[in-house]
Amino acid sequence: MFSKSVNTNYPLKFIRLDPINGVKAFDCGDQDLNDFILRRAPEFQKYLLSVSYACVDVDDASKVYAYCSLAKTDCRFLTVDAYLKAVPFYEKNGFRFMNAEDDDPHTRLMYFDLIDLVA
């Protein structure tokens, strides 16, 4: 299992989810995002369409604070359309803005360079 500690005041780590032992409880307030990680992500992973990672409590991996899913291709960058209220969380964890001209009233396009995890 992949695990990487994150730089926050909270004891968090990223773990790679597997299709059998996926996320059992998650509610971010967005039904589409909740439905994906709870029901669809395991199936996507089972059929090799994507792989999902969760940001969890170091002491209790059932406490999921955030997640991301990546298409099963070679990639280096993780991107997210971050809700404006979630931007500080992503910034704290090393995500950067894709461009300064992004003026969407609901989200900001951000990225994380995965090379930072292996460097």
pLDDT digits (tens, 9 = 90+) for 15-38: 888 877 788 899 989 898 899 999
The pLDDT of residue 12:
83
Give residue 38's identity as a one-letter amino acid code. L
Two structure tokens written together for 77? 């960058």
CA dist list (Å): 19 to 15, 27, 63, 67, 69: 13, 19, 17, 14, 12
CB-facing half-sphere around the CA of 103: CA atoms within 13 A: 1
The pLDDT of residue 100:
84
Asked whether residue 72 carries a pLDDT value surpassing 80, the answer given is no
pLDDT digits (tens, 9 = 90+) for 38-58: 988 888 888 878 889 998 888
